Structure 1
Amino acid sequence: MEDLVLKLKEQIIEALNLEGVSPEDIDVKAPLFGDEGLGLDSIDALEIIVLLEKNYGIRLSNAAEGKAIFTSIEHIADYVKEHRTK
């Protein structure tokens, strides 16, 4: 699971062009959206959706599902572990 978490952190940093952010800077339990965590926005969420589909074969069926999954890196990793097709 740790390998998946690290890989997700690296992929998110690259996909979102988070300059000056390293995987170690991202707390797995910290919120991805809002001022408390990485401060991502809805455009970033779309990029993460594309990343999950491209790299793991995961298609999210609705926005509510994405909102629940994208609360933290930990939640994304759990979801990927259970639902990946690639």
Structure 2
Amino acid sequence: WCINVADANGSFVFTFEYDASINNITIEKGSITVNGVSLTVVDSKKNSFSVAIIPYTLQHTNFKSICKGSVVNLEFDVIGKYVAKLLKG
């Protein structure tokens, strides 16, 4: 779900929180899909991440209807999951 939307000089930074107990991970500069929109992670924490949305993307995707508290569909980067699994041994 969306936990914050912040104006960033004409663009917007959306921050989302997720359940980290199901082995989903995000990494900075990695890929994430939010409601079908493929994006690059700009900030990553244990169970949250942020993405930057430019005005064009905001107007031409479903991001224009996402606000704090909105539930969203997340698709995590498969390669990131494989790397995490390899690092765990």
TM-score (ref. length: structure 2): 0.24
Q: If you compute each CA radius of gyration, which structure gives the higher value, 1 or 2?
A: 2
Higher strand fraction: Structure 1 or Structure 2? Answer: 2
TM-score by length of 1: 0.24
